[in-house]
Amino acid sequence: MFTQESKAFTIVEVMISLTIFAFTAMIATSIYLNAMNLEKKSADHRVIQENILYIMELLAKEVRNGRIDYAAYGGTAPSGPTNELRLLYRDTGLQERICWVQGFQRGNIYIQRQASGGAPINYSASCSSGSELVQNNNVTVPLVRFYISPSTVCSGSCRQQRVTALIQIRSTTPPPPGSSPVQSTVQSTFSVRLYNEN
């Protein structure tokens, strides 16, 4: 008698191979999607860090090369947190305003400078008009607080003016499903440079 060997796959073999293939494809897809989400979060972190670095360097430069404009605050700076920093350039005495404006769904930091020979800054006007945006459009700034010390001009050992800035920055890129937007909060204190006035 002749026995014939089957050269085809049985249905069980096909089902097992399809299950293994589907399982492998599912794992590969999951790894790919996780890698893409991780890359997106890394890109958001880079954008936030670049903006934080730029904002903090700008604040450090402006505070160190200027001084608090106590007259613009009415003689006494706010004793608590404020969302507006009023400075004078050291050499020229021109006014400068760094402020935070909370808009619909986003906050922005603006800088406004008095032009040489121009009119003084109108502090009662909106900070965003005639100002330049400090951060880029990929981030929003939901929180800015400036703490000014001392609150009045004084001489002697307390004459060095300091500004502490507390800033929170959040990415405007929509986060992956099930996660929150990338954000960071930083705080730093800047001192006005003291020059020997002799």
Closest Cα partner for 182 from 34, 14, 38? 38
**What is the enclosing helix (H) or strand (E) of 29?**
helix 11-64
pLDDT at 197: 52
Burial of 58 (0-12, 13-18, 19+ CB in 10 A): middle
CB 160 within 8 A of CB 137: no
Which pLDDT does position 198 carry in this prediction?
Answer: 45
Q: CA 114, CA 84: separation in Å to the nearest integer?
A: 15
Ranges of the chain whose pLDDT falls below 70: 1-6, 104-105, 155-159, 195-198
Q: What is the pLDDT of residue 188?
A: 94
Closest CA to 83 of 69, 70, 102: 102
182 alpha-carbon distance from chain centroid: 10
> What's the farthest any 2 CA atoms get from each other in the chain?
121
This prediction has a pTM of: 0.78
**Residue 161: strand, helix, or coil:** coil
Instruction: For the chain, list the strands marked E by DSSP.
Output: 66-68, 84-89, 95-102, 107-113, 132-133, 139-149, 162-171, 183-191
Identify the pLDDT of residue 53.
Answer: 94
Rounded Cα distance, 141 and 136, in Å: 10
Report the candidate in 30, 188, 51 with the shortest Cα–Cα distance to residue 133: 51
Q: Say if CB 146 and CB 81 are below 8 A apart.
A: yes
pLDDT in tens, 165-195: 999 999 988 887 788 888 999 999 999 887 6
Q: Are 148 and 77 in contact (CB under 8 A)?
A: yes
